[in-house]
Amino acid sequence: MNKNTKRILIIGEDLIMVALIRKILTDKINSIAIVEMDSNGAFNVNDGFEDKTIIVDGTVNGTTGLEIIDHLRFAKKYIGPLIYINNSDDESVKALKFGANLIITLPIATDHLISVVTKNLGA
């Protein structure tokens, strides 16, 4: 991987949503590498992901996206950009309290997703 390549970790159970996010981002942003992970992986993620932007889909099985954000921020001490995707204003407020930097609401507006991710990648 090129040292200028920016890394994005997408955590979600909805395979269609994850594939859509991957397609939008890889089509529009140069020099990115995307890693996909389900919620189980998020709780077992190893250290060394500090240089990634993390996108958490609020649709997960067996837990909540909010629990994943809480785990990443407080158990794993992740300090990088954390973007949360959901469809609820109430949940958006909670996500910010749990440590999300930015919220993207459903349905995803392609231009907004690209803008948010580009800004957080420093691209």
Q: pLDDT tens for residues 59-116?
A: 777 788 999 999 998 888 888 899 999 988 888 999 999 999 999 998 999 999 999 9
Q: What is the pLDDT of residue 123?
A: 46
Q: What is the pLDDT of residue 1?
A: 56
Q: How far apart are CA 62 and CA 22, in angstroms?
A: 23
Token code pair at residue 51: 């240089």
Q: What is the pLDDT of residue 121?
A: 80
List the domains of the chain with CATH numbers: 25-88+95-121 (3.40.50.2300)
Q: What is the pLDDT of residue 47?
A: 60
- Digit-coded pLDDT (tens) for 11-64: 988 889 899 999 999 999 888 889 888 888 888 776 666 668 999 998 777 788
Decide: 8 and 51 in contact? Cβ < 8 Å: no
The dihedral of CA 100, 106, 65, 81: what is its sign?
negative
pTM of the model: 0.89
Q: What is the pLDDT of residue 56?
A: 93
Q: What is the pLDDT of residue 114?
A: 94
